[in-house]
Amino acid sequence: MSRYPVPELLAPAGTLDAVRAAVANGANAVYLGASMYNARDEGAQLSLDELAQACALAHARGARVYLTFNVLIKPEELGEALAYLGECVDRGIDAAIVQDLGVVRLIQQVYPQLEVHGSTQMTVHDAAGARVMQRLGVERVVLARENTLEDIRAIRDAVPELGLETFVHGALCIAYSGQCFMSGMISERSANRGSCAQSCRKDYTLTDTSSGATLDSGYLISAKDLAAHDHLEQLAELGIGCLKVEGRKKKPEYVATVTKAYRGWLDALARGERGLAPSIEEIEPLVQIFSRGNTGGMYGGREGREYITRTQPDNRGLPIGKVMGHEGADLIVETTHAVVIGDGLGFESPEPTSSATMGGTVQTVRHLWTRHGTHRQVVGVRLSSVRSHVPEGWRVVRTSDVTLLRQAQESFANVVVPERVGAMRLDVRVFGHSGGPLKTIWNSGEMEVSVRGDVPLSVASKRALDVPLLREQLGRLGGTAFKLGTVDVAGLSDGLFLPVSELNRIRQDAVAQLDEQLGWARQSDLAVRDARIAEVVDTIASSVSSPVVDTSFALRAIVCDLDTAREAAAGGATEIVLDPFLRHPTPPLARVHALREALAAAGVALRLRTPTIVRPAERRHLDKWLALDLPLLTGHVGLLAEFGGAGRDVIADYATNVFNQHTAQLLFELGASRLVASIELTTEELGQLTDPWRGRNFDVLVYGRTEGMTIEHCVLSAAFDREPTTCRDLCVQKHTNVSLTDPAGYTFAVATDSACRNRLLHSRPIDGSEYLPDLWAQGVRGYQMVFNVPGDPVRLLVRSYRTMLDSLAGNVLPELTATRRLLDGAFTRGHFARAV
């Protein structure tokens, strides 16, 4: 017998066929997205009718359905989003997976019966964050993919009542989910809005910025696919309640194959089998169906160089042999698996640094021999390019196994998709005698209508009205909200006739009357729901009604070293925010004390910026900084609640993803003194967000390079194949400033922080100077500038912004081009005018 509960197996579904594949192969639950407000905006959405079918199908087999409602939602979208969620609730979903903190609260107010699960995009990765989720009433949270087994143990011990879910198989984001802004900054396709452009799957060059030397090249931030089958027993023992397979955009055959494998391993755990690592034969179908190369993830710690694909970003398939020669246009291959017609084959250069590939579909096969498990065959392959020639010695990779695909399809072939889900039962009673009209009474629930015929009943000369005939004609209810139940003919005399056209007219009349009644009831229900939605969306705790007339403002300069802090203060910053964690090494605490005293003497405040990611083992190092008792700027919701709730002055950083007024209100309740609005909002949207407070207690980031990604993987240590976290000589001494350059020539500075994780900084600084008058008019009085790369003219830039703000405070329209001249055109307007 099992000593601990076996986790739920949660499978992805982007189509009804994928739902069929999941439930047929043993999924306990499926997660899917409908056509709005889910984090897969292309190719993985179900219509509302399909959603109803999916729920009926899953529930008939004892599985649950979780709706991905996991995007950040703008103020003007809240009403529509909640109404749409209601449509999904009506179709039968069991839970909603949510990213937006404010939306969690709204769902609980409008649909209190609906379970809410916290998306991995909430970036919950430690006990402090988990406590916030429990406090908010979230039933379950999907932990960050970067959490180790020890992290999970610490979270479970600290918050034992909170349900925990974790990914176990499929594609990995290289960045912490919810903390990836790179796609949005480059292309307006925000990862937090379901439109990720997959910037991580591009090839990059890693360069030493100081020397110009190339340190590495390839797909340097393209993670391999997760395959954590070796950790299932440990995850179950730690109390993980749900294991999640990624892949809502994958084909049903993928869902079937992966679900079947994990169902088998979990069933073995349920039988009490322990310490049984899956065999190579058991794992091969997972590699074959789709794989960029597999990794066990970070459950056992960082994998370093082996965590990324390096030479290609897409499905690789299963390596099975090599090309031995040619026979005319055909290839002679030796493989560990016999090739059959219909298989897909890829061919890869044997050069370790080469990414050269070609491939195609097998058209012909001639078997030569089999010896000691090796097959020699002559295969004809229709290559993707007619001019392609596969050299001898190239590796053979089977990219598609026609036999595996057929088996996967057969596994769910007999799972029938229910039709007309939600149709209401309609019972009919009929009455009549010869010479009189046919009378019908139609009942559906509490609704009843009566319809009389216009044509008299007559004695039948051929087929008389009987139950089969009446069911055939009265049951033609396709395209309506009804399905025929019983037909009661106790009040109908025998042997009577009525034209089919008259029966059809009676049916159509009855359905029209019932539709009208149903519409009244539906309109009434929707009116009640819409009124409730409007009430909760419009209800904000703030009672601020008058415009902000205060001319005082805060100009905060966020810096990562002490010299830059002094430069920013000399330029006119009213507050210095020190991020000592952004780069190795952190400065000595004694020098920070000295900086605080020097700034205080000049009338400038000092604030500490914490990392957004603080995994359990890192908290001890952070605590000595927190003991400085400085006011804080943090993108970590757990730290915000912990210290803001205890009375510390804490500003919520942009990493908290404040997109709407309800998220803002929630963070104020958790203890935030001020909020930094999301960097993905336009000027107009910022006004909508801050309007309930007339701009009070909000900051806007107006200058600097945002952190496009926060990555546990270190590209610098991987370049030198060094063990992660033990190679600080690389980033502290040898290569203190490195960058990644993409194929378009954009260069992103890479900061290796005090926890040895990488923070990718945007290629150009945001400059929002031209939007200052609009922000000022909205009542915003907090402005942030970020300086996190060497070489910025810090004092001059801060002085330019200080001059503009002083002019606005004096009711004078400032000259808004000074910063642009300093930047010589190398800037971006960010999202001030570009909506995501």
pLDDT tens track for 348-407: 999 877 777 888 999 999 999 999 999 999 999 988 776 678 999 999 999 999 999 999
Dihedral sign of CA atoms 96, 98, 102, 105 in order = positive
DSSP string for residues in 352-395: TT---EEEEEEEEEEEEEEETTEEEEEEEEEESSTT--PPTT-E
Q: How many CB atoms lie within 10 A of CB 211?
A: 10
- 436, 457 contact by CB (below 8 A): yes
- 612, 657 contact by CB (below 8 A): no
How many residues appear in the chain? 836
Residues 417, 400: Cα–Cα separation, whole Å = 27
Closest of 99, 71, 521 to residue 80, by C-alpha: 71
Distances (CA, A) of 460 to 149, 298, 467, 499: 79, 79, 15, 10
Cα-Cα-Cα-Cα torsion 72, 160, 618, 727, nearest 10 degrees, comes to: -90
Identify the pLDDT of residue 210. 92
Bridge partners of 371, per DSSP, are: 374
Residues 201, 175: Cα–Cα separation, whole Å = 12
Q: How many CB atoms lie within 10 A of CB 686?
A: 22
Task: Write the CB contacts of 549 (distance below 8 Å, at least 6 apart in sequence).
Answer: none
Crossing angle of helices 794-809 and 562-571, rounded to 10°: 30
Residue 562 has pLDDT above 70, yes or no: yes
Tens of pLDDT, residue by residue over 736-781, are: 999 999 999 999 999 999 999 999 999 999 999 999 999 999 999 9
Quote the tokens at residue 310. Answer: 């390096």
DSSP string for residues in 417-486: PPSSTTPEEEEEEEEE-TTS--EEEEEETTEEEEEE-SS--EE-SSSPP-HHHHHHHHT--TTSSEEEEE
Residue 158 has pLDDT above 50, yes or no: yes
Percent pLDDT > 70 in the chain is 98
Tens of pLDDT, residue by residue over 316-329, are: 889 999 999 999 99
Which range is least confidently modeled, 182-191, 255-264, 651-660? 182-191
Dihedral sign of CA atoms 337, 343, 349, 355 in order = negative
Identify the pLDDT of residue 386. 64
Residues 67, 33: Cα–Cα separation, whole Å = 6
Residues 780, 602: Cα–Cα separation, whole Å = 25
Residue 683 has pLDDT above 70, yes or no: yes
Quote the tokens at residue 123. Answer: 């970036």
Which range is least confidently modeled, 87-91, 570-574, 824-828? 824-828
Quote the tokens at residue 27. Answer: 């999924």
- 575, 557 contact by CB (below 8 A): yes
Q: How many CB atoms lie within 10 A of CB 208?
A: 16
Identify the pLDDT of residue 708. 94
Radius of gyration of the chain (CA): 32
The upper half-sphere exposure of residue 80, i.e. CA atoms within 13 Å in the direction of its Cβ, equals 8
* Burial (Cβ within 10 Å: 0-12, 13-18, ≥19) of residue 109: middle
Residues 36, 47: Cα–Cα separation, whole Å = 9
Identify the pLDDT of residue 463. 86
Identify the pLDDT of residue 387. 64
Q: Which residue has the higher pLDDT, 36 or 28?
A: 28
Quote the tokens at residue 678. Answer: 């999301």
- Strand ranges in 673-795 using DSSP code E only, listed in sequence order: 674-676, 698-704, 707-711, 738-741, 747-752, 758-761, 766-767, 782-787
Q: How many helices (H) and strands (E) does the chain have?
A: 24, 38
Under the banding of pLDDT at 50, 70 and 90, the label for residue 543 is low
The residue to which tokens 């059809």 are assigned: 504
- 27, 61 contact by CB (below 8 A): no
Under the banding of pLDDT at 50, 70 and 90, the label for residue 584 is confident
Tens of pLDDT, residue by residue over 44-78, are: 789 999 999 999 999 999 999 999 999 999 999 99
Under the banding of pLDDT at 50, 70 and 90, the label for residue 40 is low
Phi, psi of 616 (to 5 degrees): -50, -40
* Burial (Cβ within 10 Å: 0-12, 13-18, ≥19) of residue 665: buried
Residues 783, 780: Cα–Cα separation, whole Å = 8
Q: How many CB atoms lie within 10 A of CB 342?
A: 15
Identify the pLDDT of residue 1. 46
